[in-house]
């Protein structure tokens, strides 16, 4: 199967090119050229089929014409040394825990697969890559952990000084080896601008093998569909709904892809915080991106969701097709905190603020359709958002061992002014 640009169906490339290139040359996003029917494959899986087997067989069915069975198995086994888990809160309400990977967020699935695929493809061609990425927290930590010690790949992460949580900063700055953290004396927007300008700089792109690992990369999107397939197998209810805490809508788009391949899902809930551009679009039919608002579920503070372009391409600009597949729900900060408290009191279970947005949206749906099963995607471990969890439930969440270890490690970062010239000098000096 090939992949085409959302802006031009004639711009068609293979998986390897889409993944190494990131963005299509016309500025569009890569998306699958066709939608194979995998209904029979999905039927052959059972509740106890391991996540890795589901991933291998699905990837083979999608890309068997480009990747050998051996390559597929290598990519999957290197990427997924962790798996999703299920916690059943009630008979028809469950939590799909996606935070058991190295950075404790669902982004690990995409980032680890991308890292293992890039390493494999580069190894075959004797090329190198220098990955440049800007982060406000979660993306950077997933990318850093995923690419750590990968052959032929260097990673430079730009983050805004003093504006990522202490734990996230440790995740970015304590690895060393092929991971470099640049602490920018500015905002996340400054970091993003510096990265964008580096990609537009002719001298830099000529001299360095620049590449990106951001969430629009197809190599992060495709593997995210695998946990939907695994999760769906955990319930027999025919009226089945996924509730997806959403920001850039990569996660939700991956679920929609799985549905187009034949996964039996009634609806997806686009669960957002005050950045409710998509829920608003579903109601009004008017898509109005705007600047983002700060909320407690800050990994979803996105005012112009980049994957809207992919969904719009899939649904042919037709809001009714969106409505047939997606329900919008918006949750305020106040409601987020009370949902976290409710779940802790009733089930003795801790939610991160993003997952709480998904949980409350699921509850609302169950009021309307009590016979459905709603599975909430849990996008991060509560310990990653210590301060918010404490505020909600009045106690410190249990911190996983490997995060505790991090807190005592020494931070190593290079402080830099928010200047593209400074970044350029740095890159030319260190990576030629």
| Residue 255 binds ligand PLP (CB under 6 A) | no
Work out how close the CB of 151 gets to ligand PLP at its nearest, in angstroms, rounded to a whole number.
Answer: 27
Helix (H), strand (E), coil (C) string for 351-399: CCHHHHHHHHHHHHHHHHCCCCEEEEEECECHHHHHHHHHHHHCCCCCC
Identify whether 185 is a catalytic site residue. Answer: no
Q: Bin 163: left if φ > 0, else alpha if -120 < ψ < 50, else beta.
A: alpha
Task: For ligand PLP, give the closer residue by CB, 251 or 361.
Answer: 251
* x/- track of binding to ligand PLP for residues 199-238 (CB under 6 A): ----------------x-----------------------
- Residue from 22, 32, 250, 279 touching ligand PLP (CB under 6 A): that is 250
Work out how close the CB of 97 gets to ligand PLP at its nearest, in angstroms, rounded to a whole number.
Answer: 12
Q: What sign for the dihedral angle of Cα 375, 323, 214, 301?
A: negative
Nearest 5 degrees, angle CA 270-CA 274-CA 277?
55
Task: For ligand PLP, give the closer residue by CB, 228 or 249.
Answer: 249
Binding segment for ligand PLP (CB under 6 A), chosen from 165-173, 240-248, 320-328, 395-403, is 240-248
| Residue 105 binds ligand PLP (CB under 6 A) | yes
What is the rounded CA–CA span in Å between residue 61 and residue 240? 24
Task: For ligand PLP, give the closer residue by CB, 130 or 144.
Answer: 144
| Sequence-distant (≥ 6) Cβ neighbours of residue 260 within 8 angstroms | 35, 314
| Residue 248 binds ligand PLP (CB under 6 A) | yes
- Residue from 58, 60, 168, 246 touching ligand PLP (CB under 6 A): that is 246
| Parallel/antiparallel/unpaired status of strands 93-97 and 129-134 | unpaired
| Sequence-distant (≥ 6) Cβ neighbours of residue 346 within 8 angstroms | none
Write down the catalytic residue from 34, 69, 107, 267. Answer: 107
* x/- track of binding to ligand PLP for residues 300-319 (CB under 6 A): x-------------------
| Residue 146 binds ligand PLP (CB under 6 A) | no
- Spell out the long-range contacts of 161-167 with Cβ–Cβ below 8 A and sequence spacing 24 or more: 161/185, 161/186, 161/415, 163/136, 163/187, 163/188, 164/135, 164/136, 164/137, 164/140, 165/137, 165/384, 165/385, 165/386, 165/387, 166/407, 167/383, 167/384, 167/386, 167/403, 167/406, 167/407
Nearest to 246 by CA among 184, 335, 140, 328: 328
For residues 144 and 115, the answer to whether their CB atoms sit within 8 Å is: no
Task: For ligand PLP, give the closer residue by CB, 361 or 379.
Answer: 379
| Residue 247 binds ligand PLP (CB under 6 A) | yes
* x/- track of binding to ligand PLP for residues 351-370 (CB under 6 A): ---x----------------
| Residue 372 binds ligand PLP (CB under 6 A) | no
- Residue from 136, 379, 389, 399 touching ligand PLP (CB under 6 A): that is 379
Work out how close the CB of 257 gets to ligand PLP at its nearest, in angstroms, rounded to a whole number.
Answer: 13
| Residue 138 binds ligand PLP (CB under 6 A) | yes
Task: For ligand PLP, give the closer residue by CB, 328 or 418.
Answer: 328
What is the rounded CA–CA span in Å between residue 168 and residue 321? 38
Instruction: Tell me which residues touch ligand PLP (CB under 6 A).
Output: 105, 107, 138, 215, 245-251, 299-300, 354, 379-380
Active site residues: 107
């Amino acid at each position: 199967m090939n992949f085409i640009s959302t802006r031009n169906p004639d711009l068609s490339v293979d998986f390897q090119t889409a993944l190494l290139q990131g963005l299509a040359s016309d500025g569009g996003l890569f998306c699958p050229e066709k939608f194979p029917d995998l209904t029979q494959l999905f039927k052959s899986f059972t509740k106890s089929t391991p996540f890795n087997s589901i991933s291998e067989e699905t990837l083979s069915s999608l890309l068997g014409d480009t990747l050998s069975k051996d390559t597929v198995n290598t990519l999957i086994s290197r990427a997924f040394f962790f798996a999703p888990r299920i916690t059943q809160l009630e008979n028809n309400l469950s939590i799909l825990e996606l935070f058991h990977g190295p950075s404790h967020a669902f982004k690990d699935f995409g980032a680890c697969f991308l890292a293992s695929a890039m390493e494999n493809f580069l190894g075959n061609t004797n090329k190198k890559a220098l990955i440049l990425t800007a982060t406000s927290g979660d993306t950077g930590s997933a990318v850093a952990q995923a690419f750590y010690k990968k052959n032929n790949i260097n990673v430079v992460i730009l983050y805004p000084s003093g504006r990522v949580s202490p734990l996230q900063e440790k995740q970015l700055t304590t690895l060393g080896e092929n991971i470099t953290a640049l602490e920018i004396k500015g905002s996340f927007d400054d970091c993003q601008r510096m990265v964008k300008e580096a990609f537009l700089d002719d001298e830099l792109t000529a001299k360095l093998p620049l590449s990106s690992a951001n969430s629009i990369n197809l190599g992060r999107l495709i593997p995210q569909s695998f946990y939907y397939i695994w999760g769906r197998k955990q319930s027999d209810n025919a009226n089945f709904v996924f509730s997806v805490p959403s920001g850039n809508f990569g996660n939700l788009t991956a679920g929609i892809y799985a549905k187009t391949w034949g996964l039996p899902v009634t609806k997806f809930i686009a669960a957002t915080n005050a950045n409710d551009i998509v829920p608003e679009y579903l109601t009004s039919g008017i898509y109005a991106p705007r600047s983002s608002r700060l909320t407690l579920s800050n990994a979803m503070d996105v005012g112009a969701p980049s994957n809207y372009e992919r969904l719009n391409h899939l649904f042919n600009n037709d809001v009714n097709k969106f409505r047939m597949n997606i329900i919008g729900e918006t949750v305020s900060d106040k409601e987020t905190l009370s949902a976290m408290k409710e779940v802790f009191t009733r089930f003795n279970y801790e939610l991160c603020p993003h997952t709480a947005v998904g949980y409350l949206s699921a509850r609302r749906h169950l009021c309307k359709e009590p016979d459905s099963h709603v599975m909430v995607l849990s996008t991060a471990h509560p310990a990653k958002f210590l301060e918010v969890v404490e505020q909600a439930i009045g106690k410190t969440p249990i911190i996983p061992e490997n995060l505790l270890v991090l807190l005592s490690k020494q931070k190593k970062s290079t402080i830099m002014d928010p200047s593209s010239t400074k970044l350029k000098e740095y890159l030319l000096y260190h990576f030629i």
